[in-house]
Structure 1
Amino acid sequence: MTEPAVAPLAGIKVVDLSKILAGPYVTMSLADLGADVVKVEHPEGGDPTRSWGPPFNGPDATYYLAANRNKRSVTLDLKSPEGQEAVHRMLASADVVVENFRPGSTLARTFNYQELSERYPRLVLLHISAFGDHGPLRDEPGYDMVAQAAAGLMSLTGEPDGPPVKAGYAMGDLGAALFGIIGVTSALVERERTGRGQYVTTSLYESQLALHINWATGYFATGQRPGRLGSGHPSLVPYQAYPAADGHFVIAVGNDGLFRRLCTALGHAEWADDPRFATNRDRVTHRTALNAKLESVLVDQPVAHWCDLLKSEGVPVTPIRTLDEVYDCPQTEALGMVQKVDHPDVGALRQVAFPVTFRGLRPSVRTAPPTLGQHSHDVLAELGYSDAEIGRLLGGRLADLCGPATPPGTLPQPPAGGTPTRRTEQRPK
């Protein structure tokens, strides 16, 4: 029996005019949830992340492959009248458009929401920027690291005596993407009540402020500028990485009862009665003294020893896994978080799946990130263009005429069983 498709957004049409990461991650997530997403790219090079490598896998950088599955790619010059007309044909039947045009740019003026809403009143437009729609920095460009620096994350990340560092993930872009997804889906829900779309905005800067959480309220209460704590927590101790004989591991003690268990397991039950450490408030105050005691004991045994011992006592603990260990972890496999899909140039392509299940089922990785312009002919034909018009619009890019059409809104399934076959035909780029 075929597993039912998980597609809560089936029937929703999305036009993706964005590039890099924040916007494409929004549209990939909408596509994962069943929406028909058409990614519009410039004919020369497409999304810049296609060339953000090495590493590459096939014609594209792995960076691009991370945020563009389950979409269709069409190549259009958005600054040309012909390209703009094609986009307007898409918007006539679209539910959502996502863009990250620089404020004040030609494209921002061309596709401004006020004019679009008059022509397409049900359209939801998500605009993502670096610093937001208002204020002295509204026109500033910005990549992820600029947001991490400008919005404070880098001031909180790193060792106390070391330089500020950026987070390992692109938290500026991904934070904006996650809030953008919430904005789009909320606007679609409201449209069901009102019949009208709306203009939704977020920015890398705003999303980082929203993610400050306890750092913000702590500063508001005390007026004290927080500093970097390495892996430490500003409000909990012990709650960080500790050195063992053969590496580091994490202990996360969230209450006094867990601390007593930890002390007993380490053979130092008396620490729990030491007035410097008896309560979490005391432990935060005497962080340095307590960590020195813990490290003097933990360094004598390997990570595996401490993890086994502390787990047996109910103390939250884990080794610090590298990515190869994470992807080979039985927990990752049990959750079905890594899926394979057939890519036209490289064959089997692994992808990290959507992290939410519905009725116990996870949305599938249905189609690989498209090659540049892979679906141009199909999409333009759906918009009513003749083959001759498509040929003129694409400027003779024959690669866009290859491959079978995929009807909009359908949910093609990944190959059933075995290793997907590698296609060998050459696609001109």
Structure 2
Amino acid sequence: MTSAIDAPNNGPLSGIVVADFSRVLAGPYCTMNLADLGATVIKVESPTGDDTRHWKPPAYRDGACYYQSVNRNKHSIVLDLADAEDLGTAKAIATRADVFIHNFKPGSIDKFGLGYEGVKELNPAIIYAHISGFGSDKGKNLPGYDVLVQGMAGLMSMNGERDGDPVRSGVSLFDLTTGMMTAIGIVAAIRHRDLTGEGQLVENNLMANAVFTMANQYQVAATTGKGPSRNGKEHPTIYPYNAFPTGDGELIVVAGNNGQFAKLTQALGIPEVASDERFDNAEKRNVNRDELRPLLEAALAKKSKTEWFGILREAGLPVSPVQSVDEGLVSAEELGLEPVWYPQDASGEQTSDFATVRNSLRMSATPTTYRKQPPLLGEDTEAVRAWLAQPTA
């Protein structure tokens, strides 16, 4: 017997139940990816709700857009873990779940009997995922915020103009990539359990994930003992490979080999630059970039960003305008990527003005699905309780 909570779907994770005790970004992004793939995600929230519900404006359905972005396809139940009855419900959910995930500080959830050993005792086959800021050892008491990790891991030191200050990335990069990697770990653990019947602990943290996400830069640091410096809009070893000013905006131009550089100078009307002995190979262009830069900038200043984009793309060069996020959304639509999904009826007619950003996965047999809008706080409390009351198979 199924309910609205565990109704089957065509996703590859249909039938997998996730007890989601996470909040803010990394954990909810992880569980939304699982939900998009068909998992039933029960979002367990405190009486005040996920912090991001309140990070507004802007908002939709009285929930901040930040919250809306990572909580579709989930069922919200409100539980106060300090209340004995609610804690019993939380443990019942853990007992019925395939996956249990949280991002509380290491050890802090153990007092409720919901640490790994406690949940494993309730449910020996559980896949228990924990996301933290700096791991469960020496960094266990450090608060885990993406901006702190951007600073500690060195990402901020790489961002910004060469002579300027370090700059935070405009997106919480490590929260998102930690969520993605944790989802991969959970899916791998599900596969292992399918083969052996054995559950396991899956741990990830923002700092370790930052090192892995910045693998190419950390490889250099581990090999040479020295990390990269800030290069602003430029690549540290390839030139040109950066944004240039044009007559009315900036354009990213890439010419990583001699053939591309010859095409670029020809298109810009300065073909002689390609044979200049200061610039006739990639190493020289990198070393002599301060001499090459004004030549390219002078040529690019003669036309608009849009004009040069068309000309250089026609020449077969890697090129892109520097755009705002709303302009990027338009470009994604023009490329046929269908970046936004709206609720539809069986005939394909839009039934709501709710917009959700599509998952980037495209799967031919088991496509990602968007079955439910991000829930209001506690919206599914009674439905989850009814599901718990049903006998197990």
Residue 393 of structure 1 is matched in structure 2 by none
Partner secondary structure for residue 349 of structure 1? coil
In the TM superposition, residue 297 of structure 1 has moved relative to its aligned partner by: 1.4
| Contact 1:326–1:332 (CA under 8 A) maintained in structure 2 | no
Q: 1:58 aligns with which of 39, 61, 79?
A: 61
| Contact 1:37–1:71 (CA under 8 A) maintained in structure 2 | yes
In the TM superposition, residue 274 of structure 1 has moved relative to its aligned partner by: 2.6
Measure the CA separation in 1 of the matches of 2:50 and 2:334.
30
Relative to structure 1, is the Cα distance of residues 201 and 109 closer, same or farther in structure 2, using a 3 angstrom cutoff? farther
Residue 365 of structure 1 is matched in structure 2 by 370
| Contact 2:248–2:304 (CA under 8 A) maintained in structure 1 | yes
Residue 404 of structure 1 is matched in structure 2 by none
Q: 1:356 aligns with which of 357, 361, 366?
A: 361
Q: Which runs of 5+ in 2 are unaligned?
A: 1-7, 345-350
CA deviations on 1:265-290 (whole Å, 9 max, x unpaired) are 11222222233322222222222222
Aligned: 1:48 with 2:48: no
| Contact 1:74–1:375 (CA under 8 A) maintained in structure 2 | yes
In the TM superposition, residue 336 of structure 1 has moved relative to its aligned partner by: 2.1
Identity %: 38
| Contact 1:10–1:33 (CA under 8 A) maintained in structure 2 | yes
Query: Counterparts of 1:327-338 in structure 2 under 5 Å?
Result: 327-329=329-331, 331=333, 334-338=336-340
Partner secondary structure for residue 96 of structure 2? coil
Relative to structure 1, is the Cα distance of residues 5 and 93 closer, same or farther in structure 2, using a 3 angstrom cutoff? closer
Measure the CA separation in 2 of the matches of 1:213 and 1:359.
31
In the TM superposition, residue 183 of structure 1 has moved relative to its aligned partner by: 0.9
In the TM superposition, residue 347 of structure 1 has moved relative to its aligned partner by: 4.5
Counterpart of 1:365 in structure 2: which amino acid?
A: Y
Aligned: 1:238 with 2:243: no
Aligned: 1:14 with 2:18: yes
Measure the CA separation in 2 of the matches of 1:352 and 1:29.
12
CA deviations on 1:389-426 (whole Å, 9 max, x unpaired) are xxxxxxxxxxxxxxxxxxx9xxxxxxxxxxxxxxxxxx
In the TM superposition, residue 225 of structure 1 has moved relative to its aligned partner by: 3.6
Relative to structure 1, is the Cα distance of residues 145 and 82 closer, same or farther in structure 2, using a 3 angstrom cutoff? same
| Contact 2:107–2:115 (CA under 8 A) maintained in structure 1 | no
Query: Counterparts of 1:244-393 in structure 2 under 5 Å?
Result: 244-329=246-331, 331=333, 334-341=336-343, 347-359=352-364, 362-384=367-389
Residue 427 of structure 1 is matched in structure 2 by none
Partner secondary structure for residue 343 of structure 2? strand
CA deviations on 1:290-349 (whole Å, 9 max, x unpaired) are 22221121112110111111111100111122222222236456222210138xxx9521
Relative to structure 1, is the Cα distance of residues 5 and 278 closer, same or farther in structure 2, using a 3 angstrom cutoff? farther
Counterpart of 1:364 in structure 2: which amino acid?
A: T
Count of aligned positions: 378
Residue 347 of structure 2 is matched in structure 1 by none
Relative to structure 1, is the Cα distance of residues 333 and 38 closer, same or farther in structure 2, using a 3 angstrom cutoff? farther
Relative to structure 1, is the Cα distance of residues 132 and 109 closer, same or farther in structure 2, using a 3 angstrom cutoff? farther
Relative to structure 1, is the Cα distance of residues 5 and 299 closer, same or farther in structure 2, using a 3 angstrom cutoff? farther
Q: 1:28 aligns with which of 32, 37, 46?
A: 32
Partner secondary structure for residue 341 of structure 1? coil
Query: Counterparts of 1:162-241 in structure 2 under 5 Å?
Result: 162-241=164-243
Relative to structure 1, is the Cα distance of residues 260 and 218 closer, same or farther in structure 2, using a 3 angstrom cutoff? farther
| Contact 2:91–2:114 (CA under 8 A) maintained in structure 1 | no
In the TM superposition, residue 91 of structure 1 has moved relative to its aligned partner by: 1.7
Measure the CA separation in 1 of the matches of 2:267 and 2:217.
32
| Contact 2:92–2:388 (CA under 8 A) maintained in structure 1 | yes
Q: Which runs of 5+ in 1 are unaligned?
A: 386-407, 409-429
